[in-house]
Each structure stands twice: as structure tokens, then as C-alpha cells.
Structure 1
């Protein structure tokens, strides 16, 4: 499920993609308005099946994470940190599996 929400000061809109167990598997950047965040969710759904859109990274502390990019190269979602490369790959597979048909829980309405 995608969860759409506003920052504490109501300045920006964000969303998280959550797995069935409630764990956040992908988080967005901040958007200036609700429609921008909704477009970001649509972009995740469109691009999540293309493995070439995933940027796999290793942080300076040795943990693994990934970004999902749109066709224009802009980052549309970022993962949490994973202890292992296999964990990161499982996270990517979870996005591919969960995002296309995920409902949107809009907490800004």
C-alpha cells in the first residue's frame, strides 16, 4: 500500500510504499503539492517493473540501498538501508511485486 502524508509543518507531501507486513520498502522525496506526490506514485507504478531503473548503492558504512528512477533519471523513491546485498535485492523484488497494484491511503484528505 502507498501511504500519502504531509510533513509536520504541512509544507511538503510525501509517500511511502509499505509491504503487507507494514514495513516501509520505499520512500519518496518531498513534493510541493498533493498532485505532485500522486504523480510520483503513478511513476513508481509505471517504472517499478524495469530492473534497469533501479540504482543499487553501497553506503560508506557498508550497508546497501537502492533508488528507483523515472525515465528522465530523476529519483522517485529510495529504500531503507539493508545489512546485506541479498536483503537489498529482496527489497527491490518487493517493490516490483507490491507497487503495481498497490492501493493509496491518502492521509491528506
Structure 2
């Protein structure tokens, strides 16, 4: 089962979304409080629609940004070597994030 993991590092709270296979498919920004990080996860779930993903290719790598309705980036993908791998990661987020459970590692 896909899992959002909350962790604490460098004085901030972060989330990462791990797919069923354990790979990280999306990560969030640093938040000053755990409550803000949890809010970020709720925003990811609420904005899991194809139009909220912006794909890119830069410096020889593929990726995507997950954006809220207001255009703010709420998550970033890992970097991929092919567009096909990136597209698969995006599909994992679309399908898994809405029902992924949250694991607090902080």
C-alpha cells in the first residue's frame, strides 16, 4: 500500500509519498509545523487530478510538479531518465495518493 511518510529534518517537517514498491514518487516542501505538513498532504489528496500535474524535461531528466488550484507547487516528483518512467510515477500518485495512509516517522 502506498504511504505518505512524515519526517523531521533540518528543523522542518517533510512528507514523501512511497509507492507500493517502496520507491519515493513525490516529495513535499519543508514545513515549520507537523500540522502544516499534514495540511500539505490533504492538499495533495484534494488535487489529485491530471490537470494539477505539470511535466517537465530539464538537464536530461524528466519530472513533474504537482500544483494546487492556485498554481502553488505542493509536491515534486523524483527525477526520471525517461518520459515513460515519469508518466508511470505520475499515474502512481494519481491512483495511490487519495487513499494512502500516513506514517509519522518524526
Q: Structure 2 length as normaliser, TM-score?
A: 0.94
> Higher strand fraction: Structure 1 or Structure 2?
2
Question: Which residue pairs with 1:53 in the alignment?
Answer: 52
Gaps of at least 5 residues in structure 2 are none
The superposition leaves residues 22-73 of structure 1 with CA deviations (integer Å, 9 ceiling, x where unpaired) of: 110000100011111000000111111x11110101112x210001001111
Instruction: Provide the rounded CA distance (Å) in 1 between the counterparts of 2:26 and 2:33.
Output: 19
Runs (4 or more) in structure 1 with deviation over 2 Å come to none
Q: Structure 1 length as normaliser, TM-score?
A: 0.92
- Partner of 1:100: helix, strand, or coil? helix
Instruction: Provide the rounded CA distance (Å) in 2 between the counterparts of 1:53 and 1:96.
Output: 10
Instruction: Provide the rounded CA distance (Å) in 1 between the counterparts of 2:8 and 2:55.
Output: 28
Number of positions where the alignment pairs a residue of Structure 1 with one of Structure 2:
104
Gaps of at least 5 residues in structure 1 are none
Deviation (angstroms), 1:107: 1.5
Instruction: Provide the rounded CA distance (Å) in 2 between the counterparts of 1:33 and 1:73.
Output: 22
Instruction: Provide the rounded CA distance (Å) in 2 between the counterparts of 1:19 and 1:51.
Output: 18
